[in-house]
Structure 1
Amino acid sequence: MQRQRIARQLLAAAIAASLALGTAHAQDSTQAAGTQTPAPPAPAPAQDNAPKGKPQTLEQVVVTGTPTVGGIRKIDASYSITAADAEAIKQANPKSTADLLKISPGLWPESTGGQTGANIEIAGFPGGGDAPYFTTQIMGSPLYGMPTLSFMETTSMFRLDDTVERVEILQGGPSVVFGDGQIGATANFMLKQGTAKPSGSIGVTYGNEGLWRTDGFLGFKVADDWFGSVGGFWRKSDGVRDPQFTADKGGQFTATLSHTMDKGSLVLWTRVLNDRNQFITPIPLIQHGSDSFSSYPGFDPLTDTYYSKYIQHVNLPGYPGGGTSANLANGRGAKMRFFGGNFDYDLSDGWTISDKFLIDQGDMDTNALFSGSNPSSLNDMLYNTSTDLGGLGLAPGATATYVNGGGVVDPNQSVIHQGWWFIHKKLKNINNDFRISKELFDGNTLTAGLYLAHYTMNDKWALGNQMLMTNTPNARPIQVVNAAGQAVTDYQGFLDYGAYNIAQNGKSTNKAFYLSDSWKIDRWLFDISARVENQDSTLHVCNLHNVNLDGNDNTLYDNAVPVCDGTFATTKYDKTHTSWTVGANYELADNMSVYLRANKGAHFGDFDNALRGNTTGNTPPLQKVQNFEGGFKYQSKLLYADISIYHRQFSGLPYQPTNAAGAPVGSPLLYGSDSKGINLSGALMPIDNLKLQLVANYLDGHYSHYSACVPYTNQVVGDGCAFINGKQLQRQPKVRYMFTPSYRFLFPWGDITAFVTYTHVGAHTQDQSALQQLGSYDTIDFGVVANVEENWELRLQGTNMTNELGLTESNSRIFGSAAGAGGVILARPLEGREVNFQVKYKF
């Protein structure tokens, strides 16, 4: 009953909007056939190399982070926002949705884990894993009530295809007040809509990694003032790191229905996503010194993976409810369904209303390997290596054989044990954002808004298990029997059935009310906004007790398996916080402006990173940030520049020590951070058709407010403690930039645009201790796009053309130094060279 009541509240605003639509439609005069939805003009292509006349980019209208329906010109926006249209998105050649975020200075997505499951770092925001300070939106609606959960971040719910019209990426600024109140960054994807004249495209892509992909889009007229669109993609790929089965397979379908009126518009949209993707596990490398790396014997760091047909299918007896089967080919997949709508209307006399709603649900499962201890020879693993460092501690005389045939394993064979973990995650979400604005007097507009979200999570985990396998590409599992004839592993090579086999379910409701006032005075634009938000969450996690699953003491792998005992620990979380932002923008000239902004916001806890493992009343405090920023924007025929500086300070950051299985150990500690930096997006156009683009950032960020030594568990070099005060923010390079020269060649039959992107990623570290350096690296990507006559487009693009060996992270379950004997380290390097070719017909 409670859930139904909340759902009714959330839908109330949408129903009211629909009623208002009916009344408004009765008052509208009939429009001429073919009129499209009145909306802010799409941004000019970020890499449009046509000759430029008067400044255009700063005239783009953006809608993300603005309180009113009509949006705001970039030159008037007192915050940092990056806008890219469909062509600019393609020219960025993103490997995934998360990888696209690299076009925004200060955002660094770690896309080495595959198509999904990226860690998204934002300069000055101390993340270090998943994406706690990042929100994905479609048409202005966040995809889920929390930005991240364990084994889930919201870009994994979204795939790029030809149904996307543009993206707006907002950092900081007013985002603490609007939408879901994200204090970090928000990417808002706007969908293409139908047109009076049928238009669309169909494309086929082939990639050298065995990729075949089909994309399509069609926009059309349904009736007078009604327009529709359909589109999507389907693809399959062996992956750059071939797992001996299909690495990526699936597709997406999107449809929109839009209606125009004299004074407003209505857009309804739906999307179905069914896609599965290989989640790439760290592989062995050799570390030299503190920050130089080379390949490990037998492993190609650019193309190899542990995944194989030998370990693809498993049975997991420790999974809640009596066990389950799992398949690596299902990877980190998404089966999601979305339905949303946007309604905007001018009520006259200075009144306007806007309503956005989204309902979605589905599964976000993970089937993947997760790194354990470092590799060693089979002989050392069985007898010599300490159990603290991953050894098995057996008496001499054990027998090791390959699973499914192959005979006895050579004692000198390099082996490793890794987690084969399965997480079943079922999500539901409904949110609604209603706003009403009134122009109080000329140039001054007051907006009031109500944001409501209700969302649930139901998880079952098989976590913490370890499978013994060869330390080779496309690994083979190993079965071990000790000298006494007892089974050390099961028939699949599992050393155990997990240390954290939990079932958990949570529900949460967010309620936020916000006010915003903007005032245009000559060349000045001032805004002040505040938001009061409450999050009310409840989480139930099953209590565990150890069970001998088969009742046989001679099967050592399952004699003490922690499984749910039928009872649950309940944690309640009820927090309220007020956020605010103040900004001022001054237009120095028609093509130049400066701004200043301050904001204070809070990051609420999520089910996994605040509630789970804590009792009611003992959950961590809110993470709070204060952010001061200023910027300068300029554009002429020759030069475009968007420069911002910032000072960001965090408090209430929690660190939860964990064991090798990822289970919490001890109480969390709290600390802070302090960061200063510069973000730059610019372009130089010295002659017609030539453009030199630069996206860059510099970050001076460190941890603060914790002077004690932080204890940690380390399976590679042994346990210890480390001081984090003053250490560089983890996983965030001090310097990162992308330089892209491009030139457009004109011909009687069309044009060809060629471009090269040089990327530098500066020194970065693995965790808060800064004991594990990850070095720096440089990559080169390229693209050639030919438009032939009016209808044909040919596109050849490639990434990491020099096969650079660059790291984004090491073993994330190791705190401190991760390099063991001989400098062996488990880490995620970039994928090797990838080239794809597309033929597209447009009409």
Structure 2
Amino acid sequence: MKNKQLTRLTLSAAIAATLMAGTAYAQGSAQSSTTSTKQAAAHKPSVKNAQNLEQMVVTGVATTGGVRKIDASYSITTATNNQIQLANPRSSADLLKLSPGVWPESTGGETGANIEVAGFPGGGDAPFYTNQIMGTPLYGMPSLSFFEQSSMFRFDDTVDHVEILQGGPSVVFGDGQIGLTSNYILKQGTDTPSGDIGLTYGSQGKERLDGFYGFPIGQNGWYGSIGGFWRKSDGVRDPQFAANKGGQLTATLTRDWDAGSLVFWARGLDDKNQFITPIPLIQNSPGNFSAYPGFNPLTDTYYSRAMQHVYLESYPGGGTNANLADGRGAKLGFFGANFDWDYGNGWSISDKFLVDGGNMDTNALFSGSNPQTLSSWETGNGVPTGAAVTASYTNGSGMVTNPNADVISQGWWHIHKNLKYVVNDFRVSRRLFEGNTLTAGLYLAHYTDNDRWSLGNPMLMTNTPNATPIAVSYVQNGQTYYVTNGQGLIYNGGYNITENGVATNKAFYLSDSWKIGQWLLDASGRVENENAHNTVCNLSPVNIDGNAYTLYDNTVSMCNGTYTRTDYNKTHPSWTIGATYKIRENMAVYARANKGVHFNSFDDMRGSTTGNTPPLLKIQNFEVGYKYESREFLANVSFYHRQFDGLSYQPSVFGVPTGAKSTYGSDTKGINFNMKYTTPNQLFSVDWVGDWMDGHYSHFEGNVAFYGLPTAGNPSGVFYTNINGKQLQRQPKVQFRLTPAFRIPTAYGDLRLWATWEHVGNHTQDQTGLQELGSYNDFDVGAQFDYGKNWVFTLMGSNVTNALGLTESNSRIAGSAAGATGVILARPLEGREYSLQAKYRF
């Protein structure tokens, strides 16, 4: 507890003290400060309107100077710090829906989102998403079990703007991501000291302190900045302890020269976040849902103080204490450096370096079977008929005497994940002749993942909000048998492993860009090698305490002292070509083709043997687009065709293979659009961002055998279906966000009012397409008032109509997840929430 308090106080004090000092310095030196326009322009990343097609972007570009958005032969979404705040994202992942066709399932909380990109058949976690800061990926693999890169990032006032790129040239640069890349550019100091400090209060016990301060250091071209946040919140789904708690501190140090710049940046993140478990609902018909009796689908959660602290005997190495309040959080440190230099005569270099590491642990409930009666649970867990059963609440509040009491079993999972990463991306460019630049680059990354898992651990509890665990025992022939331990846990089975992965990626890439009149052409290629190995302990059943009468731990799968190592060494090329034709200065058309690969992760190696790992996932993408901007209109529309190959399938029933492995793929056509209209007097605007896609699985041979909910006609629960032509799982066919906004000038400052209508079309849970999740519409609102030169007041409201919309159902049940009574476990949108921020800018 002392360490937690110290962390909180340190972060708060550091931010507050720095900002107060910065305010004083800014006020004291405002009169004497002089501005070096040349130096400030050399490194300051800030832009007034990141949606403007004249803005320079650097993501997906070979040369350090970047390219104007209208000249880029690909579609890229950008947003300034203020535009990000006004979008009111529920999480770092939720922010990504600014890019049309991106579907972040952020109903699970602020971290651990599933991130889907239209036409990329993911189905869970975020295998086709890379998060960058200052152009550098944050880890060597996009995602692993219980980890995806948006969880490594928290948005605050230290961010200047973000660039979000789908496919296109990203298959060649950075880590060669074939899907989605977001690149956050940090604010840096300028000649004039400036900053802000803000305090936010929310309707769900939210308290947050934000701040930033940028300043010059001496008169020699050095600049510094520091900022961050600290917050706590009960969350919309109050778990009876802090749902989100922690903070972040970021600093930059910049040096400018006439020929280039050097930027150092560092970030410390210590944040804990509730990972929200699906709750019960009633499925009235396919895609139509209503509240389950006793549960508010907008605000309730199973989490409670009664189950917050547990001791897990199944944790590898002898057991461990675990705390739900630690959630799915991050405790990470980052240190990066960017160096750019122009040597003249057409030669320039750029180098990006990053080292980071820390823990990304998970403490959460994971859904098992649907709710049932207590007597049904006892029968399913081996309690003999006629035995004298004792069921008692673990918090000491009494006995459970009703055999028809509504109960549920949820897995109390604890995963300790330690990550380390170092990467360097070096490139050299040479202007061969007027309009033509050739760039060569070398990307090197080395990273590790050391895990300890305690999975399974089903905990019996009341099927109620803020549930209470239940301990069960019975007496037979004068002997007491303990079905659960005193915490309501059963350790038998489970998946309690140690896993240690080490990998090195090496890539060489070459890119040529050529401007010929109104044409801008580029062609790039990359050859990459991933050399990795993963070591996982082998499991054997163990009676942990040696007591035959404690039934809950008689056959626990535990590490037996032997290990399986899988080696993986693959090399593969990727390429992209693109062309932009400038019809006029404010109008262009473009076309792009690219082909890339997705290398295996440590999770793909687990359970495989050397030489028997899944095949490379490959995609080819074709895109044509149109860009236009005038005083009133902005349009960026693209049509894409994405073909995917290399998905693997092993037919099995109850985990036993029943046939040969096969591969299949997907085929998707779609339209991304980003449009805006602004009246000539700038008093009204409307933004419309969205995607239509037709994506389905292709060239699948035979039928899928899967285990779903048993029925009277099929008590085994084994089902068969063909997935050819089925809609890509978890991807809406249509999604868009429409935002009308008004600006009202007053004598004291501008008042802005806006509302966002979000429509998410029909989507399904898994590859079978048998569990429909329907569609939904939700509304966010906002108001912002600039009072004078220094004060900004912002009021935000999310899901103000309390829409009941689902993003996913129980991912551990294939096919239809609804029981005979229509009960389904799913994650709905969080209910209505408001927040008010007061910010002082100096």
Give the TM-score category using the shorter length.
Answer: over 0.9
1:45 is matched with which residue: 41, 49, 55? 49
Residue 696 of structure 1: which of 690, 710, 715 is its match?
690
- 8 Å contact 1:753–1:784 — kept in the other structure? yes
Note if 1:148 corresponds to 2:143. yes
The answer to whether 1:369 aligns with 2:368 is: no
Per the TM alignment, residue 687 of structure 1 is displaced from its structure 2 partner at its CA by 3.9
Partner of 1:252: 248
- Is the 1:395–1:483 contact (alpha carbons within 8 Å) kept by the matching residues of 2? no
The answer to whether the 8 A contact 2:204-2:833 is kept is: yes
AA of the residue aligned to 1:396: G
Contact 2:127-2:142 at 8 Å conserved across structures? yes
In structure 2, C-alpha distance between the alignment counterparts of 1:665 and 1:465, rounded to whole Å: 29
Residue 781 of structure 1: aligned partner: 780
Any idea what the Cα deviations from partners look like across 1:55-111, whole Å, max 9, x if unmatched? xx1111000000001000001100010010011100110111111011110111111
Q: CA RMSD in A?
A: 1.7
> 2:667 is matched with which residue?
674
Is 1:651 the counterpart of 2:645 in the alignment?
Answer: yes
Q: Give the match for residue 273 of structure 1.
A: 269
Partner residue of 1:458 out of 450, 457, 460: 450
| Count of aligned pairs between the two proteins | 796
Residue 766 of structure 1 pairs with residue 765 of structure 2: yes
Is 2:413 aligned against 1:403? no
Q: 1:823 to 1:428 in 2, by over 3 A?
A: same
Question: Quick one: distance in 1 between partners of 2:815 and 2:693?
Answer: 22
| Aligned counterpart, 1:714 | 708
* Cα shift readout 1:666-691 (whole Å, capped 9, x = no counterpart): 98642200000000000011342210
Matched, 1:424 2:416: yes
Is the 8 Å Cα contact of residues 396 and 483 (structure 1) preserved in structure 2? no
Relative to structure 1, the CA distance from residue 665 to residue 108 in structure 2 (aligned partners, 3 Å threshold; closer, same or farther) is farther
Secondary structure of the residue aligned to 1:486 is strand
2:631·2:680 contact (CA, 8 Å) conserved in 1? no
Aligned partner of residue 552 in structure 1, secondary structure: coil
Q: Distance in 2 between matches of 1:40 and 1:253?
A: 20
Residue pair 1:43, 1:61 contacting (<8 A) in 2 also: no
Amino acid in the other structure paired with 1:191: L
| 1:3 alignment counterpart | none
- 2:584 is aligned to 589
CA distance 1:33–1:825, shift in 2 (3 Å): closer
Unaligned ranges ≥5, structure 2:
1-34, 712-716
In structure 2, the partner of 1:809 is 808
CA distance in structure 2 between the partners assigned to 1:416 and 1:785 by the alignment: 45
Residue 696 of structure 1: CA displacement?
A: 1.0
Q: Kindly tell me: are residues 352 and 663 of structure 1, through their superposed partners in 2, closer, same or farther at Cα, counting changes over 3 Å? A: farther
What is the aligned partner in structure 1 of residue 229 from structure 2? 233
- Seen in structure 2, the aligned counterparts of structure 1 residues 246 and 659 have a Cα distance that, compared at 3 Å, is farther
Give yes or no for contact 1:43–1:84 (8 Å, CA) kept in 2: no
Distance 1:97 1:122 in 2: 15
Question: More displaced, 86-95 or 479-488?
Answer: 479-488
Write the distance in 1 (CA, Å) between the matches of 2:660 and 2:274: 34
Matches within 5 A, 1:146-295: 146-223=141-218, 224-295=220-291
Matching residue's letter, 1:345: W
CA-to-partner distance for each residue in 1:627-674, whole Å, 9 max, x for gaps?
0001000011121000011000000013467999x9999986422000
SS at 1:58's partner residue? coil
CA drift of 1:161 comes to: 0.3
Partners of 2:227 and 2:560 in 1: how far apart?
47
SS at 2:39 equivalent: coil
> Conserved in 2, the CA contact under 8 Å of 1:351 and 1:436?
yes
Structure 1 pair 578–769 and aligned structure 2 pair: CA distance change class (3 A)? same
Code of the residue aligned with 2:753 in structure 1: it is A
In structure 2, what residue type is equivalent to 1:395? T
Corresponding position of 2:439: 447
Higher deviation after alignment, 35-44 or 429-438: 35-44
After superposition, the Cα gap between the structure-2 partners of 1:667 and 1:467, relative to the gap in structure 1 and judged at 3 Å, is farther
Bigger Cα displacement from structure 2, 804-813 vs 480-489: 480-489
Any residues of structure 2 matched to 1:514-529 within 5 Å, and which? 514-529=509-524
CA separation in 1, counterparts of 2:386 and 2:752? 66
Q: Distance in 2 between the 1:395 and 1:367 partners?
A: 36
**Which residue number in structure 1 is paired with residue 530 of structure 2?**
535
Q: Measure how far apart 1:394 and its partner are.
A: 4.0
Conservation of the 8 A alpha-carbon contact between 2:324 and 2:364: yes
Task: Give the letter aligned to residue 240 of structure 1.
Answer: V
Q: What SS does the aligned partner of 2:378 have? A: helix
Q: Name which of 30, 36, 39 aligns with 1:35.
A: 39
Matches within 5 A, 1:286-305: 286-305=282-301
Q: What amino acid sits opposite 1:746 in the alignment? A: P
Name the structure 2 match of 1:488: 483
Distance of aligned partners of 1:598 and 1:551 in 2 relative to their CA distance in 1, 3 Å threshold: same
| Partner Cα distance (1:305, 1:132) in 2 | 28
Q: Which amino acid aligns with 2:705?
A: P
Q: Secondary structure at the match of 2:481?
A: coil
Deviates more, 1:371-380 or 1:668-677: 668-677
Letter in 2 for 1:272: G
Structure 1 pair 220–668 and aligned structure 2 pair: CA distance change class (3 A): farther
Aligned to 1:566: 561
Residue from 311, 315, 318 that aligns with 1:315: 311
Q: Give, in whole Å, the separation in 1 of the partners of 2:454 and 2:660.
A: 24
Letter in 2 for 1:592: M
Superposition deviation, residue 396 in structure 1: 3.2
Q: 1:393 to 1:588 in 2, by over 3 A?
A: farther
Aligned to 1:745: 744
Q: Deviations over 1:180-207 (max 9, x none)?
A: 0000010000000011111000000000
Deviations 1:560-606 (A, max 9, x none): 11111111100001011000000010000010000010000000010
Deviations 1:678-735 (A, max 9, x none): 0000001134221010001001000011131111122455222221111000000000
Whole-Å Cα distance in 2 between the matches of residues 665 and 94 of structure 1? 45
Select the residue among 549, 553, 565 that pairs with 1:554: 549
Query: Do 2:709 and 2:816's aligned partners in 1 also have CA atoms closer than 8 Å?
Result: no
User: How much does 1:32 deviate?
Assistant: 4.9
Q: 1:43 to 1:658 in 2, by over 3 A?
A: farther
**Residue 103 (structure 2) pairs with residue 108 (structure 1):** yes
Amino acid at match of 1:294: S
8 Å contact from structure 1 (residues 369, 418) kept in 2: yes
CA contact (8 A) 2:653 2:705 kept: no
Separation of aligned partners in 2, 1:349 and 1:666: 63
Deviations 1:438-464 (A, max 9, x none): 000000000000000000000000012
Is the CA contact (8 Å cut-off) linking 2:172 and 2:524 kept in structure 1? yes
Q: For 1:738 and 1:46, how far apart are their aligned partners in 2?
A: 18
Deviations 1:135-174 (A, max 9, x none): 0000000000000000000010000000000000000110
Match of 1:437 in 2: 429
Q: Could you tell me the percent identity over the aligned residues?
A: 61
Alpha carbons 2:44, 2:190 under 8 Å: kept:
no
- Unaligned 5+ segments in structure 1 are 1-30, 48-56
Classify the secondary structure of the residue corresponding to 1:404: coil
Shift of 1:44: 3.7
Query: Which of 304, 321, 333 matches 1:337?
Result: 333
Amino acid at match of 1:305: T
- Residue 609 of structure 2 is matched in structure 1 by 615
Residue among 65, 74, 99 paired with 1:70:
65
| Residue of structure 2 equivalent to 1:21 | none
Aligned residue type for 2:676: A
Q: CA–CA distance in 2 between the matches of 1:349 and 1:494?
A: 70
In 2, distance between residues paired with 1:376 and 1:710?
28
Residue number in structure 1 paired with 2:625: 631
